[in-house]
Chain A
């Protein structure tokens, strides 16, 4: 645990020492801010619905941008050798990277808390839905982050990592968007695998254990893949 924290701390510092974190959070606030404003002032509705339905889409670009450098950069610069020859397990490296990405995610998501405050001042929003929406975002973002970490173990090249994670997340997101074209039996399976379906469930205000288990297993599976891919250096060339 101690090692995981040490590694995560260093990673978080590097997010904030380089412009990465600031740029990402600003861009995120800019996009969500525009939709928030239009909903509040044009439609005259005190809700976060627009933001919650939009963020899963923004995260498709946003999370891969956060995670793309996490392990690829270490591989490219060779610092992976530095941490792998310290008394640290490979699984701890993966978890350290994941928690660092998770922290940045939390910071980003909660930077939107200002919208909630504005809503509370101006109207009477449904508190339950907002809390559920935030919980949903955290779980979904973490699942995306796990996918991103896995993608960043594949290559030394950040762009490759970005594209791979973008692609995987995109597929998982789009799965339940083609329901008209496919048979019902297949449709229900695809729907269950889709990330957005579970998010919309939670965002409606219903926190079902099935949705939580779905996200947790997604996180576990991709972190396991990441660990596996990092340990692979031990068996293959590079």
Chain B
């Protein structure tokens, strides 16, 4: 459906987007994830024909952003960052304005506006001035404007930023519903958002793609090393860490904290995925009568860890 090819954007000397390529199939929700200033918004602005790339191109259904800009814009519904709308207009006037701008046939306009008011939950604020609305409602008006021409592709730039948890949940469920029949591209820097709604995630850092895979793939690829967290109380000696090194399969130990008074040691054990060392660990600790296990749990790499690892790697390279 969408094919992004070697997309590059320079702002003066700053390269905001650096040779990005990816393809997006029809239907489904794809998340573009990255820290602030990673180039997400710039990428989306180029895809929506707001500004052209320095190099590279975007195809939407074989149409090119250079030659078929107007046709592509017709296919896309776009919610820009911060949801800019005319604050002095009232909700209905605004929707009619967008409907006219989007060339919706006159006979359909009334119906479409009504549908948008229903599906985006705007009944209560219909006659109100947009400037008076809460941020959540404003975001919904923006979403209604992006959806009014029933686009095949929906591009949402940080759709939930600045909303309270209830509003976030509402917008997310709306996006999820839309993802069933449309291609939805959501940019965000909130990881839980990606986990909640996206099927596939493209992680961007410093203008480059650092990961592009389904959510499960990304999580499982980071699971080749497993990790166990231990909290052990010792009766004699708090310095128990070295003893674990002898156990077969242990790759590394990492001290989390040590409380000398109560003789409690908290630490992580990293071991390889090929071998389950948990029985061996249990037997080892059982042998030592001085130790009491206060807590033992396997640690999953959360998306947050993965994200941090992926985006900090670049920083090390940059500093080197």
Contact = CB atoms under 8 A, between A and B. Distances in A.
A18 B88 contact: yes
B277 to A, nearest CB: 54
A14 B89 contact: yes
A88 B70 CA distance: 7
A18 B98 CA distance: 20
A3 interface: yes
Given A3-B101, A6-B101, A86-B101, A79 B70 contact: no
B70 A89 contact: yes
A85 B84 CA distance: 12
Interface string A112-153: 000000000000000000000000000000000000000000
B85 A82 contact: yes
B19 to A, nearest CB: 19
B208 to A, nearest CB: 19
Contact of A82 (B71, B84, B103): B84
A82 B80 contact: yes
Interface residues of B, number: 32
A88 B101 contact: yes
A3 B84 CA distance: 20
Contacts of B51: 233-234
B74 interface: yes
A11 B106 CA distance: 21
Contact of A10 (B11, B50, B74, B86): B86
A89 B145 CA distance: 19
A85 B80 CA distance: 9
A17 B88 contact: yes
Interface string A1-23: 01100110110011001100000
Contacts of A168: none
B84 A10 contact: no
Contacts of B81: 78
Contacts of B74: 87
Given A10-B97, A234-B51, A86 B12 contact: no
Contacts of B50: 81, 84-85, 233
Interface in B1-54: 11-12, 14, 45, 48-52
Contact of B145 (A7, A9, A82, A84): A82
Contacts of B45: 81
Given A79-B86, A234-B52, A6 B97 contact: yes
A9 B99 CA distance: 14
Contacts of A237: 11-12, 14
A2 B109 CA distance: 15
A13 B80 CA distance: 24
Contacts of A18: 88
B82 A78 contact: yes
Given A89-B70, A233-B51, A237-B12, A78 B84 contact: yes
B76 interface: yes
Contact of B49 (A79, A83, A85): A85
A82 B83 CA distance: 9
B73 interface: yes
A17 B97 CA distance: 15
Contacts of A17: 88-89
Interface string B199-211: 0000000000000
B78 interface: yes
A77 interface: yes
B102 interface: yes
Contacts of A89: 70
B123 interface: no
B143 to A, nearest CB: 13
A85 B86 contact: no
Given A85-B50, A234-B51, A77 B101 contact: no
Nearest to A88: B101
Given A17-B89, A237-B11, A81 B102 contact: no
B193 interface: no
Interface of A: 2-3, 6-7, 9-10, 13-14, 17-18, 77-79, 81-89, 233-235, 237
21 contacts: A6-B97, A10-B97, A14-B89, A17-B88, A77-B84, A77-B87, A78-B80, A81-B84, A82-B80, A83-B101, A84-B49, A84-B50, A85-B50, A85-B73, A86-B73, A87-B74, A87-B103, A233-B50, A233-B51, A234-B51, A234-B52
Q: 10 closest A-B pairs (Cβ-Cβ)?
A: A78-B84, A237-B11, A81-B80, A6-B100, A85-B48, A87-B73, A79-B84, A87-B70, A86-B101, A87-B74
Interface of B: 11-12, 14, 45, 48-52, 70-71, 73-74, 76, 78, 80-82, 84-89, 93, 97-98, 100-103, 145
Given A2-B103, A82-B80, A88-B101, 17 more contacts: A2-B100, A3-B101, A6-B97, A6-B100, A14-B89, A17-B88, A17-B89, A77-B87, A78-B80, A78-B84, A81-B80, A81-B84, A85-B76, A86-B102, A87-B70, A87-B101, A234-B51
